[in-house]
């Protein structure tokens, strides 16, 4: 296992522990697991970039275009995770039986960040052709998909009072015509529901 793959895998392990804590012990000190996990995945990605740059794999015009597309996906990922939802309610003080935020990108599909994450590593991996970037990025994407499945089937139904109903209305990953229309009409983000705790 390469250092980048090890760091990224540890990051996802911390994400898993963060979700387990949000359902079971709910210890505030363990809320730090999520940002630490993010830092590990970012460090792993930095190692992949370093290896690709050292191998001279990022010097073509095609690579520049792919890097730009990956950067756009990264910006969209940050938006989905940290700006499309109220940061404090989502990450700092997770409460039991909150309400789902179902507008904007969260009307498009239930886990829009998974799509951004996948395409980010796809574009960056293609830009770094001939290096482990693409293979490692696809492993991270698989881990991210498995993490989203765990959230969708276990942790989110236990922490969001209306998640079952949200799951019936909004597709898991692949947008539909109805979900695209809902995204357009509720963009950029719905107001916080009055009955949210």
Chain segment 22-60, per-residue pLDDT in tens = 999 989 899 999 999 999 999 999 999 999 999 999 988
Residue 114 in any domain: the answer is: yes
Residue 141 in any domain: the answer is: yes
Residue 194 in any domain: the answer is: no
pLDDT beyond 50 at 194: no
pLDDT at 196: 38
Residue 12 in any domain: the answer is: no
Residue 134 in any domain: the answer is: yes
Distance CA 19, CA 113 (A): 16
Residue 26 in any domain: the answer is: no
Residue 193 in any domain: the answer is: no
- Domain ranges, residue 92: 59-186
Number of domains in the chain: 1
User: What is the overall mean pLDDT for the chain?
Assistant: 90
Q: Of 87, 109, 85, which is closest to residue 31 (Cα–Cα)? A: 87
Chain segment 89-136, per-residue pLDDT in tens = 555 555 545 888 889 999 999 999 999 999 999 999 999 999 999 999
Q: Of 11, 185, 159, which is closest to residue 107 (Cα–Cα)? A: 185
Residue 31 in any domain: the answer is: no
What mean pLDDT is predicted for residues 7-19? 97
pLDDT at 82: 87
Distance CA 45, CA 127 (A): 13
Residue 141 contacts residue 173 (beta carbons within 8 Å): no
pLDDT at 137: 98
């Amino acid at each position: 296992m390469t250092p980048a793959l090890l760091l990224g895998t540890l990051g996802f392990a911390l994400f898993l522990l963060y979700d387990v804590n949000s359902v079971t012990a709910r210890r505030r000190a363990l809320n730090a697991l999520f940002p630490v996990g993010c830092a590990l995945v970012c460090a792993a990605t930095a190692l992949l970039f370093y290896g690709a740059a050292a191998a001279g794999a990022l010097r073509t015009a095609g690579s520049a275009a792919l890097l730009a597309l990956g950067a756009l996906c990264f910006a969209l990922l940050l938006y989905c995770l940290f700006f499309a939802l109220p940061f404090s309610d989502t990450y700092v003080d997770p409460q039991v039986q909150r309400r789902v935020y179902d507008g904007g990108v969260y009307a498009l599909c239930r886990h829009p960040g998974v799509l951004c994450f996948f395409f980010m590593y796809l574009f960056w991996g293609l830009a770094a052709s001939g290096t482990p970037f693409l293979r490692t990025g696809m492993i991270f994407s698989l881990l991210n998909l498995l993490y989203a499945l765990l959230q969708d089937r276990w942790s989110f139904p236990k922490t969001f009072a209306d998640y079952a109903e949200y799951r019936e209305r909004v597709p898991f990953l692949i947008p539909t015509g109805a979900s695209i229309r809902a995204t357009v009409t509720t963009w950029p983000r719905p107001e916080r529901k009055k009955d949210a705790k």
